Amino acid sequence: MPLDIPSRVRIRDDVLYQYLQGETVLLDLASGTYYGLDSVGTRVWQGIEQHGQLNKVREAILNEYDVSEQQCDADLVDIVADLINKGLLESVGTDDETT
């Protein structure tokens, strides 16, 4: 399923995370690998934690940062795709799907 702004994602159960001084440290328990997120990545992670819907994360980023819609969309999809590829997030469908 292609990842796009209406997509819903969730943090995988085997990922631990801690917010530290505006950044986030992630631990993938399955691989034992640590990752770090900068302040913008942390804001995306927090939005996913709170909402799970990328359109809501997008709205928050657009309201909080001086960024164009096109750049926000591209960066958000890149960040989320990278986190999915690393096994830290998983896609759980789109807003159009009923669960």
What pTM did the predictor assign?
Answer: 0.88
Q: Please report which confidence band the pLDDT of residue 94 belongs to, taking 50, 70 and 90 as the band edges.
A: confident
Q: Judge whether residue 2 has pLDDT over 60.
A: no
Q: Judge whether residue 89 has pLDDT over 70.
A: yes
Residue 95 pLDDT: 65
Cα–Cα dist 28/12, whole Å: 9
Q: What is the mean pLDDT of the chain?
A: 90
Helix (H, G, I), strand (E, B) or coil at 4: coil
**15-54 b/e (C-beta count within 10 Å ≥ 16 → b):** bebeeeeeebebbbeeeeeebebeebbbbbbbbbeeebbb
